[in-house]
Structure 1
Amino acid sequence: MKRFITGLILAALLATGTAAAGKYAADTVSTFAQQKNQEKALLVQERIQETVTLLESLSTDPYIRSQKNSYQEKAALLTDKNQNENLGYMMLRILDAEINIYREDIGLASNLASRDYMQKLYTTGKTQVTDAFLAGADGKTINYTVAVAIMENSQAAGALMAAIYGDEIDGYLTDERSANVLVGSQLQYMGGVSKEQFGLAVAQVLENERNTTRPAENILVDLNEHKSGSFWSLGSHIQYVAYTPVEGTNWSVMTEVRVLPIVRNILIIYGCGAAVLLVSGILLLRPKKNRQEKTRPR
C-alpha cells in the first residue's frame, strides 16, 4: 500500500511539474515575442514620425516658402541638408503646385501627378506614407516614401517628400532570436524578407502554415483593421507569431519566434527534475531484500 501511495505522489509531482514547466515555457515564449514585436514596430514608427516631423518643419521654412527662390535652389538646399546632416534619406525633394518634382542638378525632373498617393496628398492635404516600392536608377532599390503638403490658404500649393531606404527599415527589423516582417497596406510582405519574398501575400503564407491556433481569415481581418494579435503555429517548427500595427501608417509588424531556442534552458531544468523524480521513484518502489537470513534447521 505504501508503494502505491508513493507511486501516486511521484506521478502527481511529475504531472504537476510537467504542467508548470509547459505553462512557464509558453508564457516565456509569448512574452518574448510580444515584447520583440512592440520593439520592432516602435523602431519603424519612430523613423516615420521623425521624417514627418522634419518635412512638416521644412514646409514652414521661410526659404522653402519664398517665391523668390527657384525650385532648383530649394532642391539644392534639401539635398545639402540630407547630406550634411547625415539624415540618411535616399532622396529629399520638393514639388510644385502641378506636382512637378525638382532636383538640384537639373531642376525639373519629372511629374508625379499619376501617383495615387500624390493625388491624395494634394486633394486632402493629409500626410502620405507609401508602401514599399522599387525605385532608383536601376529600378531595383526598395524604398518607402513620406510626403507632406506645403499648404497655402487651406490648399496644397506644393509638397515635400523623403524616400527611406528599404535596407534601413530592414535594419530595424533584424534580430538574432526572432524573424520580423513589415506588412503593407495590401497585406503583403515588404520589409525584413528576401527579394524573393518581397510582395508575397500574407494570405498565401498562412495557407502554408499548418495547425495555427487561430483561423487565417481572422488573422487577415486583424491586419486589415490594424489590430494587434497573436497565434501559435504548429508546423515543421513550433512557433509563436505576434503582430501589431505601426502607428501613423497602414503597416503592421509580424514577429515569429521559434519555441525551442527560447525554452531550451527550461527543458534542461525540467529534464533534470524529471530524472531526479524517476530515479527516486525507482529507488523507493523497488522491492526490499530480506536482510535477515532465515534460520536453517539443523
Structure 2
Amino acid sequence: MKRKKNNGKGGQWEVSFFPIIRYNVIFCVLVMVFIMAGGAILSAGRMKSDAKAALSSAQAQISQRVTGAVDLLEALASFPDFNDSETEPIVKVKRLDQMSPYFGFMMMCYVDEDILVYSDGAEPASLASRDYMQRLFSTGQRQVTDSFAAGADGETLNYTVAVPLIDKDGNITGALFSAIYFDEIVQILEESAGKVNANATLLGSQGQVMSATTDLSYGDPVMEALRDDKLLGTTSDKLEEKLLAAQTGGYWSIHDGDLCYTAYQRVDNTNWDILCSVSFGDVFFQIIPSLLFVVCLAVFACIILLLFLKRYIEKQMQVVIMLVQSMEELEKRVYQNERPENVDFNEILRLTSDGLSDSLTGVVTRTVFLNKAEAQLKNADPKLVKALFFVDMDNLKYINDTCGHDGGDIALKSVGYILREYEKKYDGVVGRYGGDEFVMLLTSLDDEKELRDVLDGLILRLQSKIPSGGQNIPVQCSIGVSVYQPGIELERMIFEADEALYHVKQNGKGYYHIHQN
C-alpha cells in the first residue's frame, strides 16, 4: 500500500495489485503443471489398458480363425469318405474345393498316405519336403505352420492348418489341410491396433516377425530389434524366455526416446505370439485438447477469483482510508490545538482504539455499520427476530437555530448514547447514516411483541428535554422499522425502513412505523 500525493492537499491511499497478480500467475502456472502431471499419469494408465485391449482383440480374432480351421478340418477328417481308399482323390478334392470359398480359405486340399497333394485339373505334387507334413505323419498330430511362401508364384504368403486322416485301426492314411490368407491376419492386426492407436506384431515359432503394423521387416528376429530399446524391469533374454514359455504379460521400455508399454500373449493352438505396443506420446497428445480445456477453465477461475479479491480489497480500503483520515484529524487536534490542556483524551483513546466511530456521537460510521450489520445478520440466531431501525431527529435545525450548534451536538450525542444502550442489550450495531440520521440493527428480539415494546420505550426516551447551560434542549425523533425476512438483503431493509420513516414524517412525526411487506 502506498500514499499518492494529490496537489499537496492531503493524500490518497492505494493498493498495488502487482504482487497479487504475480502470485496469481504463479498459482495458475502451478495449476497447469499439476494438470499436465495428472494428464501424464492418466496417459500412463491408459497406455496399459489400450495395449491390453488391442492385444485381447487381435489374439481373440486370430485364435478364433485358427481354432475354427482346426475344428473344421478335424470334423471333415472324421468322415469315412476321406479315409476310403476306394474313393478317388479327385472326388475328395472337389468336395474340399466347394467348401474352401465358403469358409474363406485360400485353398483346402487332400494329401494321401504318400504325402502327395491333389488338386483339380493338375498332377499330384509331393509335399514330402515340407517339415510340417513330416511331423504330421510321424506324430499323428495336427500342425499349424508359420507363414511361408507357397502357390504357383512361390511368393504368396499364407498360414497352413493340417490335420491327419486316421483310419479305424489307427493308421495315418493321409491328411487334410487349409491355407489361411496372410493378408487376412494382417488386416486383423491393423484393425485391432488401429482402434487405440497401438502397434501390433505377430511372431512366429522362432521369434521371427511374421507380420507387423510398424516398420519391422518380415522374417527379422524380434529380439534383435528389442536390443536397441531400453527395457525397464526386464531384459531381452528374460522376455524371450517368457515368450517361449507361452506366458502372458507386459513390459515398459524406451523406444526412440518415447516411453512405451507392450503387452504380449500366445495365440491359441499355435506357437505364435502377439505383441501390442502403445507409446506415451501417442496417448498424451490424444488427451491434450481435454487437458487444455481444463487448463483454460482453471485460468478463467483464477481470473474471476482475482477480480473478486480486487473488489473486496478496494472495499476494505475505504474503511482503511477512513481510519487514516481519523488519525490525521487526531494529529491536528493534538499537535495544532493552541490549548493542549483542553484536549479530550477520552475521544483520543476512542479514536486510537478503533478509529472507525463517529467522533461526535460515538456510534460507528456508515461504512463500518454496513459491514458489521451484514456479518451480524449472517451469524444471528434464525429463531430470533431481527429488525433495522431508521432513526431521524425531527427538529435538529430548530435546535441549531435556537440553542446554537453546541446544543445540536448535545442533542445528537444524547440520541447516540440512548441507541448504544439498545445496541448492547439486544446484540446489535448502531451507525450514523447522515447528519441527523441513525441506523440501528437489533438481532436478539424474542418476537414481534418484544419489538413493539422496545419501540414504545425507545420513542419515549427519544422525546425528551436535555438541560444544558441553563436551558432545556428539546429532542424529538421519528423511527422507521424493517423486520428481517429470510433472503432479504441489508440494503433492502434500509430501503424499507426509510420508507416506513417517510410514512411517519407524513403523518405527524415523533412516532414509529413498521414496514409491512
- Class of the TM-score when normalised by the shorter of the 2 chains: 0.7 to 0.9
Pick aligned residue for 2:119 from 103, 111, 130: 103
Aligned residues of 1:71 and 1:107 also touching (Cα < 8 A): no
1:207 maps to which residue?
227
Pick aligned residue for 1:228 from 224, 235, 248: 248
Q: Distance in 1 between matches of 2:172 and 2:87?
A: 18
User: Secondary structure, in 3 states, of the residue corresponding to 2:260?
Assistant: strand
Tell me: CA distance 1:241–1:35, structure 2 relative to 1, closer, same or farther (3 Å): same
1:211 positional shift:
5.0
User: Secondary structure, in 3 states, of the residue corresponding to 1:159?
Assistant: strand
1:137 positional shift:
1.7
Q: Distance in 2 between matches of 1:194 and 1:219?
A: 20
Q: Distance in 2 between matches of 1:179 and 1:62?
A: 46
Q: Distance in 1 between matches of 2:54 and 2:234?
A: 21
Pick aligned residue for 1:166 from 166, 169, 182: 182
Partner AA of 1:58 in structure 2? L
Aligned residues of 2:55 and 2:276 also touching (Cα < 8 A): yes
Partner AA of 1:242 in structure 2? A
- Report percent identity of matched pairs: 28
Aligned residues of 2:39 and 2:284 also touching (Cα < 8 A): no
Partner AA of 2:143 in structure 1? Q
Larger radius of gyration between Structure 1 and Structure 2: 2
1:23 aligns with 2:41: yes
Tell me: CA distance 1:194–1:265, structure 2 relative to 1, closer, same or farther (3 Å): closer
Pick aligned residue for 2:71 from 35, 45, 53: 53
Over residues 198-227 of structure 1, what are the superposed CA-to-partner deviations in whole Å (9 max), with x where a residue is unaligned? 101111110122454532222211111111
Q: Distance in 2 between matches of 1:188 and 1:245?
A: 14
Tell me: CA distance 1:81–1:18, structure 2 relative to 1, closer, same or farther (3 Å): closer
User: Secondary structure, in 3 states, of the residue corresponding to 1:54?
Assistant: helix
Aligned residues of 1:72 and 1:106 also touching (Cα < 8 A): no
User: Secondary structure, in 3 states, of the residue corresponding to 2:121?
Assistant: coil
Tell me: CA distance 1:199–1:51, structure 2 relative to 1, closer, same or farther (3 Å): same
1:39 positional shift:
0.8
1:124 maps to which residue?
139
Q: Distance in 2 between matches of 1:21 and 1:171?
A: 32
Partner AA of 2:184 in structure 1? E
1:246 positional shift:
0.4
Aligned residues of 1:29 and 1:240 also touching (Cα < 8 A): yes
Q: Which runs of 5+ in 1 are unaligned?
A: none
TM-score, L = length of structure 2: 0.50
Aligned residues of 2:50 and 2:198 also touching (Cα < 8 A): no
Report the aligned-residue RMSD: 3.4
1:138 aligns with 2:153: yes
1:8 positional shift:
12
Bigger RCO (CA 8 Å, 6+ sep): 1
Aligned residues of 1:231 and 1:241 also touching (Cα < 8 A): yes
1:43 maps to which residue?
61
User: Secondary structure, in 3 states, of the residue corresponding to 2:247?
Assistant: coil
Aligned residues of 1:72 and 1:107 also touching (Cα < 8 A): no
Question: Residues 142-291 of structure 1 correspond to what in structure 2 (within 5 A)?
Answer: 142-152=157-167, 153-175=169-191, 176=194, 177-193=197-213, 197-210=217-230, 212-236=232-256, 237-273=258-294, 280=302, 283=306
1:69 aligns with 2:69: no
1:67 positional shift:
2.2
Aligned residues of 2:137 and 2:172 also touching (Cα < 8 A): yes
Partner AA of 1:158 in structure 2? G
User: Secondary structure, in 3 states, of the residue corresponding to 1:74?
Assistant: helix
Q: Distance in 1 between matches of 2:291 and 2:44?
A: 14
Partner AA of 1:260 in structure 2? G
User: Secondary structure, in 3 states, of the residue corresponding to 2:202?
Assistant: strand
Tell me: CA distance 1:124–1:178, structure 2 relative to 1, closer, same or farther (3 Å): same
Q: Distance in 2 between matches of 1:107 and 1:54?
A: 26
Aligned residues of 2:264 and 2:273 also touching (Cα < 8 A): yes
Q: Distance in 2 between matches of 1:213 and 1:232?
A: 7
Over residues 232-263 of structure 1, what are the superposed CA-to-partner deviations in whole Å (9 max), with x where a residue is unaligned? 23223332211111011000111122333333
Q: Distance in 1 between matches of 2:285 and 2:70?
A: 43
1:91 maps to which residue?
107
1:193 positional shift:
4.9
1:10 positional shift:
8.8
